[in-house]
Structure 1
Amino acid sequence: MCSCYEDDITKHKRLLIENSHGEKLVGILHETGSTELVIICHGFRSSKDRIPMVNLAFAFERDGISAFRFDFAGNGESEGSFQYGNYRREAEDLRSVVKHFQGEQRLIVALIGHSKGKTEYRVTKESLMDRLATDTRAACQTIPLSCRVLTIHGTLDEFVPVEDAYNFAEYIPNHKLCIVEGADHEYTKHQSELASTVLNFVKTGLLKDSRL
């Protein structure tokens, strides 16, 4: 189920996509007319309207690739209540978004995510146990070799230690690591570098696929 509002001038559409729990997820589609689409996911206690998500969406839009940034349930404008450690619920939300666009014959070429590591929160016992039960290393090792993964991490990230990025590089099979010297958690002074790195990675994948 989906409803939308379209701005004819900018071709930005505000979409409401229902998740598997009947909650409406709010997102902005940066429509270029391309079949290809990237989906941009915000981080912990964040929203689709934070600087990294907006700038990435516009970077893809300028390059002719459609992008969709949305709020997970309980965040931003979306319905539902916020939960800590809700990886499975967010995966369900993302699945609902992907299925919606696949139903419109769009080709999802990349899933882009930002941050799950901020440390100021209120938790319930249920949400904390869900987080503790998540084996990140095991999850990384289930990623198939055919899936290309890019990790970008700033050396001055104030929430997530850069060592975590090196761990991902060790655990994920088909992985590229990019360390941005001097960048903070939201790449405040490194937005251009962030956008160009992500865009080039996705376009390289599209080029390889076109040669198959």
Structure 2
Amino acid sequence: MAPPSPEIPNLQGTQHKRVTVHNSHGEELVGVLHETNSLELVIICHGFKSSKDRIPMVNLADAFEKEGISAFRFDFAGNGESEGSFQYGNYRREADDLRAIVEHFHEEERFIATIVGHSKGGNVVLLYASSYKDVDAVVNISGRFNLERGIEGRLGRDFKEKIKHDGFIDVRNRKGRFEYRVTEKSLMDRLTTDIRGACQNIPNRCRVLTVHGSMDEMVPVEDAMEFAKNVPNHKLQIIEGADHEFTSHQDELSSAVLAFVKVDLRGNYMAMPSQSCKPSGHIHSRL
């Protein structure tokens, strides 16, 4: 299991705004808007037991900001500053959280240029694109294709027998401190989430980029190959030497994601899902 990357504090400044949105369960989701006054907006989703304030979420938002593209990074319910209790699994519910964020910015007459997700967030943005079909570009960074893998590393080899016997497994850190509880229900939520089916159900008009590090020890690079086989309109980019969080390859990651997003923004990005979205009061990005 790869060690966690260091926390990156919120950057202070007039361009960074704290924004709260309520999800369908009434929980407050907290995010940071990197505001450039562009009409288009990129939404960035974090991974498992992570937050909006960790790499690569902050670095990606900063990279978009430097290009004049507004970006919003937020915490899923039960993570970071957002309300709610942390739940293992929760892929589809986090896609619903993302839906609340998208609808909020549609109401503010913003064009959602791309949704970006890292690790588990990569699965969430793909599930979102499959379910709601209202985005034209998705970036999956280090997502896991086979959700049956990677469980033993956290829960132990006998996790199925143990959870059947006890009804739950408490996960502890290396110092023995309790981190979170996995119930049989939450485990089944993960195991019954059909990533292959979701990928195949993404509309062909939706462009998908998968970026993966060749030295990712948490999610094998072979998973990225499976996304390439199953997503209709897909581009795959492997970054040589990069780990799961692209710790020493942040510039390469940002460059790959920016290049992909700019393709859509050079085109007719005014074709919004919501017909009420207008460019009034906004300026365009520096593309």
Q: How does 1:14-33 map to 2 (within 5 A)?
A: 14-33=18-37
Partner in structure 1 of residue 196 of structure 2: 137
Contact 2:207 2:233 in 1 (8 A): yes
Is 1:109 the counterpart of 2:113 in the alignment?
Answer: yes
RMSD over equivalenced CA pairs, Å: 1.7
Q: Which TM-score applies when normalising by structure 2? A: 0.69
The correspondence for 1:71, drawn from 54, 69, 75, is: 75
Is 1:179 the counterpart of 2:238 in the alignment?
Answer: yes
In structure 2, what is the Cα distance between the partners aligned to 1:47 and 1:19? 17
Partner in structure 1 of residue 285 of structure 2: none
Moved over 4 A (4+): none
Q: Are residues 173 and 11 of structure 1, via their aligned partners in 2, closer, same or farther at CA, if it must alter by over 3 Å? A: same
The AA in structure 2 aligned to 1:114 is H
Aligned to 2:68, the other structure's residue is in SS state coil
Is 1:193 the counterpart of 2:252 in the alignment?
Answer: yes
The AA in structure 1 aligned to 2:255 is S
Contact 2:208 2:235 in 1 (8 A): yes
Farther off after superposition, 31-40 or 10-19: 10-19
In structure 1, what is the Cα distance between the partners aligned to 2:106 and 2:72? 13
In structure 2, what is the Cα distance between the partners aligned to 1:13 and 1:136? 34
Structure whose alpha-carbon radius of gyration is higher: 2
Partner in structure 2 of residue 46 of structure 1: 50
Partner in structure 2 of residue 155 of structure 1: 214
User: Which one scores higher on RCO, CA 8 angstroms, separation ≥ 6?
Assistant: 2
Unaligned runs of 5+ in 1: 1-6
1:131-177 Cα offsets, whole Å, 9 max, x none, are 11111111100000000000000011121000000000000000000
C-alpha deviation, 1:8, in angstroms: 9.1
Identity of aligned residues (%): 68
In structure 2, what is the Cα distance between the partners aligned to 1:211 and 1:77? 33
Farther off after superposition, 202-211 or 183-192: 202-211
Is 1:60 the counterpart of 2:119 in the alignment?
Answer: no
Q: Which TM-score applies when normalising by structure 1? A: 0.93
1:48-81 Cα offsets, whole Å, 9 max, x none, are 0001000000000000000000000000110001
Q: Are residues 9 and 52 of structure 1, via their aligned partners in 2, closer, same or farther at CA, if it must alter by over 3 Å? A: closer
| Aligned residues between the structures | 206
Partner in structure 2 of residue 4 of structure 1: none
Contact 2:47 2:118 in 1 (8 A): yes
C-alpha deviation, 1:206, in angstroms: 1.4
Aligned to 1:51, the other structure's residue is in SS state coil
C-alpha deviation, 1:11, in angstroms: 1.4
1:113-141 Cα offsets, whole Å, 9 max, x none, are 00025653541111111111111111100
Aligned to 1:40, the other structure's residue is in SS state strand
The AA in structure 2 aligned to 1:191 is Q
